[in-house]
Structure 1
């Protein structure tokens, strides 16, 4: 027996203290139980440090000292432990059977930890337990039997775990149960009809599982129910009419539940109902007029269904109504005028219906209106003048209607306003002065109206304005001289707006991504200072009256992709410096007066169609099949300023020398690596004691890890920060140990990267994020210990020499991996606080477990986003870095989304992100975009090894290709959020059986610049 264990194990210590204490005459079972719990749990934060057995005894007549320990409360009369609260302590491990000795325990809270495995049955031996809270853990398998023993239980919260199998029917024997939450797991099958037998149940949460079948009508017999959430499942049939019997019901949510059929008119009897959420189903028919009798309703959301008919006029009498969302249905008729007079109305969303008539005249007069979206209907008449009377309006969405009249000047005083979209109407008059002074205005779209007059100069002073579109309006005016000065301005579109005068100097345009001024009457030259627009991706000046030469500075823009200067009067030559620009995809200078040769040494120009240069009699070259004069410049050509060119021969010699040195280092390093690196583990022992920091309960020590790696090790990977080894622990557990590189000059920097990985992964819990078991370190060395992934990485699967062909050829497996990665990144972007940006997403950092479930790994360069930050160095891997990241160094989620798009393209094509096949300087993104523009190009893009020759598989792959193209948009603003990506991937789910990879998400409102319904959140 281990002597140190005998003397210092908490249970042994307690028994020794008992025998020597004159005060205690009986074994303190409560104390034994508590210390047994402490010794059984992994506590990386040492949150139970005050559970000290040496101070566990007190004088007679005084409360035991353990009653003052953190998380513990005792009955002051009996000194019995009644509450044990271990919530939010990052604990893991197994609750021991000794917990049953806390006979008088009434409240047990284990929430927000990392407990896994089955729920321990010992908990069901606590006869007086009233509340049991285990939400946000990792409990899995089917729900353990025996819970019916807890006859006193009133509250059970098991939300957000990984339980599987059927819902436990045993719960119906808990006659005192009032609160039941089994949501956010993987329960399957039907809701038991016996759940209608709960006699005291007030709150029932079953949302976010994999439940099927019909919602049992018996639930309507639990007449004490006040709160029901059943959404995000896959039910059949409709909402039971019997729910109208629930006279005490306050909250009903069956959103995203796959419901069908008509809305039950009988629900109008629920006069206490306050919240009704039925969005994202397949409901049809009209909205029952009887629902106007639900006089207490505050939130009514029926959006994203197939409802027809009119909005009941009786809704004007719903005085408590706060939110009315009926968007994306097939409703017709007029909006009841009385809705504009509802005293508490804050949100009115009627987007994408076929409504007609005018907006209620008094809409907004109640001073509480915050969001108004009636876009994509057939509404007419003027915009009501008092929409922002209370200065609370944040979103005004009126686009694609038939509104007339002027834009109300009162909106220029609406300081809360941040998004305005009134395009595609018949609005006239001028843009009121004052919008540029609004402190929060971000998005302003006025295109396709009949607006005229001057463009307000104050728009150039807007503090947060990012997007302004005034296209297709007959302004007949000049651009303000300060139009490029707004500090956050990114996109400006003023196409076909009858603009005249000169283009203002570009000073101040540093943040612009897109400038569109085509189809106007602009004159003069293109300002030379366009080089200030460092982020510019698209420049469209076609169909104007511009003169002068093409500024050389355009060719220096690092991310310029699309340039259209056609139909002008430009002269001179095409700057040859474009030869050095690898991002250019389109360059149209047709119908000008240009002269000289079309540059041909660049892949960009050689791949362009001759139509990009026609209409210029003085142009020549191979692209136009028109030979150029060799004796000097072509007649009329103008010499354009050139950057100094380096000698080509010097570049070749430098490149060759660098290659030779690198090859020598690689060969020498390879030969000496095995001879020297194996000794590093034993040498590392001599630089201080090893310390093991565990993030969950481990059955091995730091010495076990070092001994294993010293005797025998297998290298399974190398990265920028270190080498990864496969190691088998004495108990048979296989782990992966990532060891930091040795004593290089940049060891400190790389060690910081590894420690950053510890900080990130130590607090992350998700099935698609690799699990960090612990961290071993001494004075000079650090090792991270992970769960071992037997199927290697996605890079091995797609490109490895020993790849398993039957897995590579399985499109369902590839889709499952793509979806798993999306869920992992979505968790980092949307569920972590602060947000985590991975910044180095690529196939080699995507690991695959035994079930081919994807796990995102290698967080050495991840960043916690707490504010607008930029990095001093570029992090990431070539081929996966977003184009804007290389020069802005700005850290945000959009760079991860671009990298994910590249990974998705690799999954679809079977090709690496960078390949000589793509051409010099091109990546897979450039190659795919070029291929899909050609006839039958998809045949080359989609991997036939994945089944692209099959029509159904090909269709599914094309859906994912569209997602990949969205993710790799040049403009970060055009990339979807990761929640949108997950939603789109679910829509492209293969029709064959797909192992469940978990997770559910909805969109965040904007996809590729278009407004969509915002995500619905639970209301409390």
Structure 2
């Protein structure tokens, strides 16, 4: 009987185990059905009925074949996690789904996973609040960083997790909350990451009791007050990062006790006092305290740190010399001590190990020469020593550094000449050398530095001719050679530099005629050739340019002034040329004689005749081509062109036909010309209005007769333009209220149409700056800012693949009938691919002058932070009411530098606010402007994400006014409510 009982018991256990294994299989197969990844991935090939669950890829079991771990991190997964079934795995201790594209809300069912020790949902696209997980009291590792969670984080649930070793919940747009005191109870923590999750208030004193901490980060928050003295008890710290808060006071006494620190970053705060406590931290590899109010000298002991690889102390009030041995011991990466009051010489041996990438000491009071050792520093990418008191000769090898992207030596007393070594500078993008004592000729070898985008050698003593080979610099956008001793003629080859938007050759001794090719620059915005010896007539091509600055004054020009150059805006731009005459006797110029007028009429008649002949021949060619196509159509039985030749790809339900669209592409419906095509307004038979962008395709195969279809993935087919592919790829799957809606594409071999919703109030640029300007009250400006930010946030964080717009500006933010914004014009957009790194490489500068992030100028590597920079400029436009480039900002300055300078004081920031914004809203406007300052930071890594920008803007929501109280002293106080709060 006993034996029978044992057999029965074993059968029961076996049956129970079999049932459990069956349940596990069903749970895992349910998980598989809920998730999706690339069709080329073999991730789930092993997840089938033929394999044991313990052999499923990413699954670990215990000895009883019960699932204990599921690790599917970094597998490009999409979908929602079924916690209702997952938490029925009785032995589950580890769930790892980090670095995927999972979305949706995390349900309360996660509370049932009570045996979890390890939970990683970080770096995903979840939404909504994260639930209270108090029952998960066995957790040791909790990673929720950068996952899209919002609302109020359940900090109180941490009180049950006394065994927690690592906690990472940063980079989520949680509701504003004081720094959580619950963290203080987690005595076993060795890693705490709370950066960029909207924390405020002061640090709790008890933070100093977490003595097991080795890594502590709470950057990009709103934490105030002083660093608590107890922080010096955290002697096991090797990484302490708290940049971009509002800490005040001094570095605590006893900070020297943290001798294990390797990485220390307290930048962008309001710390003051000296750096004396840091001279004992001999293990430091990275030391960064830029953008504070620190004073005193850089401790000489820092020069003896044997492991130091990066030192960044810019924008402080530091004095004295830079320690001369700094960077000479290890493979030093970069130094940035710019914008201080430092004296002495540049340390000579920071590139001793040959690894240095950046030497940044601009805007100090440094003296002496540029050490010749840096001419051998082939790793150097950025050399910026401008605005100091440097003298001596620029080492010739500096000009030929093979990896240098920017050489900035302006505003010094440096001598020598631009050496022929520059032929080796294949990656050089910018030369900034104005206001020195450089002499000699510009070498012909400069034409070999083919990556050059900007050359400024102005206000020196350079002589000789402008090299003829300068035309080989196809990407050159800015050329400043004014106030030198240049002679000879302007090279005709300069006309090959089609990217030029800024030319200043004034105050030289240039002679000869103005090349006609200067009138063919499509992007030219600034042309100054004044104070030279130029002669001959003004090229008529200059009439077709739309210049913000135009100056040909004080030369020896002769002949009639082109009618288009008699604008009031150019008043004075032609003075000092007594040989010029005017057909209409304007601007105090004499009337052109009848002979010159006759000559002009004859030339005009010849030109008109030539144009008419060309048009006639073109029309004849078109007629013959259409006739040939008609004959071929009749021969092969083709249908009519409208029915046969157009391919429609719809992305929404359509209430119109392609014929209705095609019939409306007429001149009278033209409403604008963009960078990649004309735009027409189409009124449908039902009264609905649409906007249609018409793009002529490029590179159409000469003999191809069939019509090609639109590629939804942006692959170039037939002759479709890159702009068309980019726009379709970016917009076809986007569904967001603040991104312009693309209804469909209509394509043929020769032509492409994109059909959008019509937005009747034009662009934000129109409303702020042009003749269509109308007053936008602060509430409207604020709503535009938030809406546009949410549109960009969606592009960066809400799409399956992040979309980089790359041309964010106020003219690409359109307004509907209610002045609600839409992000538009995706002709330069780029969808980030899975196999591409975080930074995207582009061979040209994409974007618009005034909005372009500084990293474009020296790396070409861009990511979503470049869009953030451009959006920061838009925020500045909204708050200040000014254009990105204004004369009042000063030479070589823009709105960003102007606002940053104003932001150094509360009063200065307030003065930058548009005077039309009422005083009662100044505080909220200043908050938005501070966000704009963060967005336009020089270093991309320090700019907030668009998700964080949205949160910061929502925190600046204007009060809904109930009334205003006037105090006895005449001050105003708002009485109102904030609906959000």
TM-score (normalizing by structure 2): 0.69
C-alpha contact (below 8 Å) 1:798/1:907 kept by paired residues: no
C-alpha displacement of 1:590: 1.0
CA displacement, residues 598-619 of structure 1 (integer Å, 9 cap, x when unaligned):
211x2x5424332111111122
Distance between the aligned counterparts of 1:898 and 1:186, measured in 2?
Answer: 16
Equivalent residues in 2 for 1:147-296, closer than 5 Å: 147-159=133-145, 160-188=147-175, 189-218=177-206, 220=207, 243=208, 245-296=209-260
Question: Where does the alignment leave 5 or more consecutive residues of structure 2 unmatched?
Answer: 1-11, 627-640, 658-685, 696-704, 717-724, 745-755, 767-774, 853-859, 896-913, 960-981
C-alpha contact (below 8 Å) 1:133/1:157 kept by paired residues: yes
Are positions 1:823 and 2:797 aligned together?
no
Residue number among 50, 53, 56 corresponding to 1:55 in the alignment: 50
C-alpha displacement of 1:444: 0.5
In the alignment, which residue of structure 2 is the partner of 1:1013?
Answer: none
Q: Structure 1 pair 759/252, CA: closer, same or farther in 2 (3 Å)?
A: farther
513-522 or 375-384, which moves further after superposition? 375-384
Distance between the aligned counterparts of 1:964 and 1:173, measured in 2?
Answer: 40
Residue number among 619, 625, 641 corresponding to 2:580 in the alignment: 619
42-51 or 325-334, which moves further after superposition? 42-51
- Secondary structure at the aligned position of 1:149 is classed as coil
In the alignment, which residue of structure 1 is the partner of 2:358?
Answer: 395
CA displacement, residues 941-960 of structure 1 (integer Å, 9 cap, x when unaligned):
xxxxx996756679988999
Distance between the aligned counterparts of 1:716 and 1:364, measured in 2?
Answer: 64
C-alpha displacement of 1:408: 1.0
C-alpha contact (below 8 Å) 2:188/2:210 kept by paired residues: no
C-alpha displacement of 1:158: 2.3
C-alpha displacement of 1:531: 1.4
C-alpha contact (below 8 Å) 2:813/2:822 kept by paired residues: no
Distance between the aligned counterparts of 2:196 and 2:932, measured in 1?
Answer: 27
CA displacement, residues 303-335 of structure 1 (integer Å, 9 cap, x when unaligned):
2233333321x5333210212222222333322
Distance between the aligned counterparts of 1:669 and 1:197, measured in 2?
Answer: 73
In the alignment, which residue of structure 1 is the partner of 2:388?
Answer: 425
C-alpha displacement of 1:837: 5.1
Equivalent residues in 2 for 1:78-157, closer than 5 Å: 78-87=64-73, 88-93=75-80, 95=82, 97-145=84-132, 147-157=133-143
Are positions 1:558 and 2:522 aligned together?
yes
- Secondary structure at the aligned position of 2:533 is classed as coil
Distance between the aligned counterparts of 1:623 and 1:958, measured in 2?
Answer: 47
- Secondary structure at the aligned position of 1:482 is classed as helix
C-alpha displacement of 1:420: 0.7
Distance between the aligned counterparts of 1:299 and 1:880, measured in 2?
Answer: 35
Equivalent residues in 2 for 1:485-564, closer than 5 Å: 485-505=448-468, 506-564=470-528
CA displacement, residues 112-131 of structure 1 (integer Å, 9 cap, x when unaligned):
44544442343433443322
- Secondary structure at the aligned position of 2:216 is classed as strand
CA displacement, residues 204-259 of structure 1 (integer Å, 9 cap, x when unaligned):
333322334444444x3xxxxxxxxxxxxxxxxxxxxxx2x333332222323333
Residue number among 250, 259, 270 corresponding to 1:306 in the alignment: 270
In the alignment, which residue of structure 2 is the partner of 1:234?
Answer: none
- Secondary structure at the aligned position of 1:632 is classed as helix
C-alpha contact (below 8 Å) 1:148/1:173 kept by paired residues: yes
C-alpha displacement of 1:287: 2.9
C-alpha contact (below 8 Å) 2:784/2:821 kept by paired residues: no
Residue number among 558, 561, 571 corresponding to 1:598 in the alignment: 561
- Secondary structure at the aligned position of 1:78 is classed as coil
Question: Where does the alignment leave 5 or more consecutive residues of structure 1 unmatched?
Answer: 1-17, 57-64, 221-242, 663-667, 685-712, 723-743, 776-788, 883-889, 912-923, 939-945, 996-1020
Distance between the aligned counterparts of 1:377 and 1:277, measured in 2?
Answer: 22
C-alpha contact (below 8 Å) 2:131/2:154 kept by paired residues: no
C-alpha contact (below 8 Å) 1:847/1:857 kept by paired residues: no
C-alpha displacement of 1:172: 1.7
Distance between the aligned counterparts of 1:23 and 1:193, measured in 2?
Answer: 45
C-alpha contact (below 8 Å) 1:375/1:399 kept by paired residues: yes
Residue number among 441, 449, 454 corresponding to 1:478 in the alignment: 441
Distance between the aligned counterparts of 2:944 and 2:19, measured in 1?
Answer: 65
In the alignment, which residue of structure 2 is the partner of 1:812?
Answer: 782
Q: Structure 1 pair 826/430, CA: closer, same or farther in 2 (3 Å)?
A: farther
- Secondary structure at the aligned position of 1:499 is classed as strand
C-alpha displacement of 1:520: 1.4
C-alpha displacement of 1:869: 6.7
122-131 or 751-760, which moves further after superposition? 751-760
C-alpha displacement of 1:488: 0.9
C-alpha contact (below 8 Å) 1:256/1:280 kept by paired residues: yes
C-alpha displacement of 1:52: 6.1
How many residue pairs end up in the alignment? 817
In the alignment, which residue of structure 2 is the partner of 1:35?
Answer: 29
In the alignment, which residue of structure 2 is the partner of 1:225?
Answer: none
In the alignment, which residue of structure 1 is the partner of 2:666?
Answer: none
Distance between the aligned counterparts of 2:286 and 2:873, measured in 1?
Answer: 40
172-181 or 40-49, which moves further after superposition? 40-49
CA RMSD of aligned residues (A): 6.0
C-alpha contact (below 8 Å) 2:312/2:335 kept by paired residues: yes
Distance between the aligned counterparts of 1:860 and 1:376, measured in 2?
Answer: 35
Q: Structure 1 pair 766/387, CA: closer, same or farther in 2 (3 Å)?
A: farther
C-alpha contact (below 8 Å) 1:182/1:206 kept by paired residues: yes
Distance between the aligned counterparts of 1:143 and 1:984, measured in 2?
Answer: 17
C-alpha contact (below 8 Å) 2:97/2:122 kept by paired residues: yes
Equivalent residues in 2 for 1:798-809, closer than 5 Å: none
C-alpha contact (below 8 Å) 2:481/2:506 kept by paired residues: yes
C-alpha contact (below 8 Å) 2:784/2:819 kept by paired residues: no
In the alignment, which residue of structure 2 is the partner of 1:369?
Answer: 332
Q: Structure 1 pair 201/250, CA: closer, same or farther in 2 (3 Å)?
A: closer
C-alpha contact (below 8 Å) 1:455/1:479 kept by paired residues: yes
C-alpha displacement of 1:301: 2.1
Are positions 1:325 and 2:288 aligned together?
yes
C-alpha displacement of 1:409: 0.9
C-alpha displacement of 1:22: 15
Q: Structure 1 pair 427/764, CA: closer, same or farther in 2 (3 Å)?
A: farther
In the alignment, which residue of structure 2 is the partner of 1:571?
Answer: 535
CA displacement, residues 759-799 of structure 1 (integer Å, 9 cap, x when unaligned):
96799999999899xx9xxxxxxxxxxxxx9xx88668979
CA displacement, residues 451-490 of structure 1 (integer Å, 9 cap, x when unaligned):
2233311124311111112222223422223233311112
C-alpha displacement of 1:348: 1.5
CA displacement, residues 469-520 of structure 1 (integer Å, 9 cap, x when unaligned):
2222223422223233311112111112112222221342322111111111
TM-score (normalizing by structure 1): 0.67
Are positions 1:406 and 2:369 aligned together?
yes
949-958 or 81-90, which moves further after superposition? 949-958
- Secondary structure at the aligned position of 1:571 is classed as strand
C-alpha contact (below 8 Å) 2:466/2:488 kept by paired residues: yes
C-alpha contact (below 8 Å) 2:804/2:867 kept by paired residues: no
C-alpha displacement of 1:715: 9.3
Distance between the aligned counterparts of 1:587 and 1:274, measured in 2?
Answer: 57
CA displacement, residues 629-677 of structure 1 (integer Å, 9 cap, x when unaligned):
242238999x999996665668999999999xx9xxxxx989xx9xxx9
C-alpha displacement of 1:418: 0.8
In the alignment, which residue of structure 2 is the partner of 1:434?
Answer: 397
C-alpha contact (below 8 Å) 1:575/1:640 kept by paired residues: no
